[in-house]
Amino acid sequence: MRANQFFSRITMIFAALLLTLPILLSAQDKKIVATLSSSANQPVKIDRLIIDDTIQPISAGLLDRALAQANSDGAAALLIELDTPGGLLTSTRSMTGAIFASRIPVIVYITPAGARAGSAGFFILEASDVAVMAPGTNAGAAHPVPTTDKPDDVMSQKIINDTAAFLRSYVSRRNRNSEAAEAAVKESHSYTAEEALSSHLIDFTASNETQLLNTLDNRTISRLDGSTVTLHTANAQIVPIVPTLRERILGWLADPNIAIILLICGALLIYLEFNSPGTIVPGALGTVLVLLAIFAFDLLPIHYTSVLLIIAGFALMVLEAKFGGHGALAIAGIVSLGFGLLTLVDTPTPELRISPAVAFSVSAAFGIITVFLLRLAWRARQRKFRLGSDAVLGDTGTAMEALNPAGSAPMGHILVDGEIWLATSAVPIPAGTRVRVLSNEHNTLHVTALQGKSTLDSPENTA
């Protein structure tokens, strides 16, 4: 009996569950539909990154962070507004690789009017899923330029062919004109927005962001992995990606002109600390400036022959201060330092090189200050060994009394550097006469009279 009741209750519970299951599923379906509907009503979000500087490691790091943020915050795409004269090929390869690895599409937009995607920028433009240019912009001139160590013809051809093959490797997969792209590398062709569009190097032109988003709406694009994505960008919400304080500081330090000024100022401050031990502040501040300069140069390709020229310039300035070369050693040091600074950054991009005006003006100022300070320090070091009466040798003083007392040698007192000394002379010297110290013997100074009137002959000493 009890068993029958137990099974009866189980049957009733099971039947109740079967009856309520459709209701629960229907409610869940309504919840899912409501969620999808609410998400569909939200505007599409597109992250935007502005790169308007040279392409270097800081730019590559900024793009990596922007892609990581866009791939994780639900953005439909990353929009890169680009304006660059070019930059380092190593950083360019890193940035194109990051674009290829992005899970969401990357749109590169050359803007505003007058902007360009020169050299390295052209590689980034062609690497994008969607390439767009504003009217009045240009792109191309991607011929690899040799650095200060000019390679021979064979090596030059190898560099050009390797760079062209790198560009071809993804331009054709983007369904763009690989021959026109290769011409930008091998023949330094540069294209206006209209020429790039007619040559199938970009997808379309747009005068502003609104036109760009409207043109992209409902467009299906092919990714490098073979998949396709349909973009819905009309009325999309643009979310700017702002560089962090660290990235702004690093971008500022990436300017080699700033780095060289920091290096020179830091070196002078450290010298002041050595010249006046215990001041602490110049040494600490100088060390910080030098370390910042070294960090900045570590971001850039350095030509080490130029480093030797800089060291040679310092050595010539030290020799000028020690031995005196009538300025010849100092001039040679300034010229050596100037050429060393001018060729220090090993890159063909003018915006990444040290300005000639900065190189030679800093070299001249540093050379003059260094020679002046070193001479003062050298003279001070030599005077340290002259103590007591030896310290006044060659100095001038005044006879406090006539050096003509009775006796075999004229003798009296003189005033030198605020000190009273017993002095003697080969000939009598009237009181008040200016004298020069010739030698010292047993704390008695041997002096000679200077030509000209004595202090007693001045108007205030005349009765």
Q: Map out the domains of the chain as residue ranges.
A: 1-42, 43-245, 255-383, 391-461
| DSSP one-letter code for 55 | B
- In this predicted model, what pLDDT tens digit does every residue of 74-117 receive, in sequence order? 899 999 999 999 888 888 999 999 999 999 999 999 999 999 99
Cα 310 → chain centroid:
19
Q: Which residue has the tokens 């480093």?
A: 307
Nearest to 367 by CA among 328, 417, 411, 402: 328
Please state the rounded mean pLDDT for residues 266-295. 81
Q: How far is CA 361 from CA 320, 337, 338, in A?
A: 19, 11, 8
CA distance 29 to 45: 27
φ, ψ dihedrals at 101, nearest 5°: -85, -5
Equal CATH topology for 43-245 and 391-461: no
- In this predicted model, what pLDDT tens digit does every residue of 111-140 receive, in sequence order? 999 999 988 999 999 999 999 999 999 999
Beta strand pairing status for 138-140 and 190-192? antiparallel
Q: Kindly report the CATH number that applies to the domain delimited by 391-461.
A: 2.40.50.140
Please state the rounded mean pLDDT for residues 253-265. 85
Query: How many Cβ atoms are within 10 Å of 67's Cβ, its own excluded?
Result: 24
SS3 at position 439: strand
Q: What is the pTM of this model?
A: 0.66
Q: Which fold has domain 43-245?
A: 2-enoyl-CoA Hydratase; Chain A, domain 1 (3.90.226)
pLDDT tops 90 at residue 66: yes
- In this predicted model, what pLDDT tens digit does every residue of 18-36 receive, in sequence order? 445 444 444 444 433 333 3
Task: Take residue 452 and report the two structure tokens written for it.
Answer: 């000209």
